[in-house]
Amino acid sequence: MSTIVEIRVPAADFELGRALEGVEADGFELGQIVPTDEKRMPFLWVHDAADHGAVTDALRADEETGDADFVGEVDAHALFRIGWEEGVNGLVEAIVAHDATILGAVGTPEHWDFQLRFAGEADVPGFRAACEDAGVDLDLRRIYSAADPELDDDATGLTPVQRETLLTALEVGYFAVPRETTLVELAAELGISDQAVSERLRRAQAKLLTTTLVSGTDDPAEPGHDVRSGDAARPNGG
**Domain positions in the chain:** 3-145, 160-233
On whether the CB atoms of residues 181 and 39 are closer than 8 A, the answer is: no
Q: Is pLDDT of 91 > 90? A: no
On whether the CB atoms of residues 40 and 31 are closer than 8 A, the answer is: no
* Average pLDDT, rounded, for the chain: 76
Q: Is pLDDT of 218 > 50? A: no
Share of the chain above pLDDT 90, in %: 11
Higher pLDDT, 104 or 5: 5
On whether the CB atoms of residues 99 and 119 are closer than 8 A, the answer is: yes
First and final C-alpha spacing in the chain: 39
Q: Could you tell me how many residues make up the chain?
A: 238
Cα 113 from Cα 139, distance rounded (Å): 9
Q: Is pLDDT of 192 > 90? A: no
Q: Is pLDDT of 237 > 50? A: no
CA atoms within 13 A of residue 21's CA, in its CB half-sphere: 13
At 231, the pLDDT band (50, 70, 90 cuts) reads: very low
Mean pLDDT on 196-202 = 84
